[in-house]
Amino acid sequence: MTTAEVIMPCFNGEWSLPKTLNSLLLQTYQQWRLWFCNDGSTDRSFEILVNWRRIIGEDQIRIFNGQNQGVSRARNFLRYNILQEVPEDSIIFFLDSDDIWHPEHVWEYMDYFENHPDVDFIYSDVKCVFSDGSEAVPRGITQPYFGPPVYISTVAFRKECFGVGEFDHRLEGREDILMWLKIKAAGCKVAYLPRVLTTYVVNPAGVASSWNENKDKIFWEEVRKLGIEGELETSVVISNYNYGRFIGEAIQSCLDLNPPASEIIIVDDHSTDNSVESIRQYYEKYPNLIKYKVLPSNYGSRDRPLNVGIGLAKGKYIVTLDADDTLALDYFEKVLPQFSNDRVGIVRVGYYRFTEGLYMMPKAWTTNDRVKDLLETNYVYTTSCFRKKMWEELGGFSENEYNKEVIFSDWDFWIRAAMAGWEFADAPYPLCNYRTHEGSGTNNIDFSFAFEYLKRKYADLIKQKEVVMGLLI
């Protein structure tokens, strides 16, 4: 019977270790060996393990005691010893000292490996338990190449996968993701078990919460070295200013998407209410899925926050969302198939004005000339989906140079897309829930200024195509 070699680094885990170790003891597959590295703990972690080994037996537990150097170096130390000591047919597991395996965890994996000798790497779903007592099975993609998110305590692989190298200690908080990408890029076959076999206890102060832009830059540099383009499938970019009372609903709607968003990026335009606090609460729960940035000063219009957010986005397809609106659960299910033609840059969607009970579908085009139609009126709702490649080619949304006053930056964007030859497709469903309320952006737009701005900008083209710029959809 093949031994499951279980890697567990630990720093000050006395509060969680007994439950974690008990979950290992209760495994239905009992042919396992624990490799434990005490990473300079100052609590009773080491003492707990020593006492536990006296009960279980020294043959089943290897304990290493060292100075605090971080989780990556602790795992690398255990990796080195495992490579030297265990048989070549061994299966390597990871169990963090604050996570819990379900009793059938190891058995399910070992059975799958035995029946699928071509598979090198397996992961499964995880149930997250947050500090407020809430629970969730995360949706979303935390890296290219994989589907559902990969949490380290759900991973097992054949010993040969360790040949790709060490965990990158510069990337505490995402060093495991880079390791999985190395393994995948090396040609190892990955399998996903769509069931929950692990409970992950989310620690808001953990290393994942220390992620920053510098680490993000290093991460994607390393991804590119692997020959991976580093592009995700979908990014939702939320712009916010003083919508603290609504932002939670917007974020939650993105977390509930099925199929899921690859990432959620929130850019706050220097709010003065409780927006940032609300955003941070969600970030702490989903640090690998959510990114947020607070602008150093208030710009006063959505075009700057959107450009910042899309610039950070890694998704192939972008949807922008105002923080007082929400997305429908099946948004990507309905939208993504419409991008089958490479020249389709924008997929128009409908929306539901839920405060008024009105369904608004994409308006039928008047002519076969998209530029002419869009000079006449805005046929495209702001939460329509578009390719990031198109946004890059167009130079992003036009940021208004006139004292930061609001313009129809999305309408201008669609016009420029049509002028560049990009095509439009339709997903004629109400895929966004649009909220009208006192203080909403629509109620604060200076329509006369917006029309005059666009009329000046496209005066020659309007004259050439003999159109009259008119009402919005």
Is 4-223 a domain of CATH 3.30.465.10? Answer: no
Beta strands in 67-181 (DSSP E): 91-94, 100-101, 121-129, 135-136, 156-158
Q: CB count, 10 Å around CB of 464?
A: 12
∠ CA 136-140-144, nearest 5°, is: 145
Residue intervals in the chain for CATH 3.90.550.10: 4-223, 232-465
What integer is the mean pLDDT of 440-452? Answer: 62
**Which residue in the block uniquely carries the two structure tokens 């990009």?**
422
> Which pLDDT tens digit goes with each residue over 85-135?
999 999 999 999 999 999 999 999 999 999 999 999 999 988 888 777 778
Q: Are 98 and 106 in contact (CB under 8 A)?
A: no
pLDDT category of residue 419 using cuts at 50, 70 and 90: very high
Please name the fold of domain 232-465.
Spore Coat Polysaccharide Biosynthesis Protein SpsA; Chain A (3.90.550)
pLDDT score recorded for residue 408: 79
Distance of CA 212 to the CA centre of its chain: 15
If you count them, how many residues does the chain have?
A: 473
SS3 404: coil
Q: What stretch of H or E contains 161?
A: none
Using pLDDT thresholds of 50, 70 and 90, give the confidence band for residue 433.
Answer: very high
Cα distances (Å, whole numbers) of residue 459 to 8, 90, 208, 396? 67, 71, 51, 21
pLDDT in tens, 168-226: 999 887 889 899 999 988 999 999 998 999 998 776 555 454 566 778 778 878 887 88
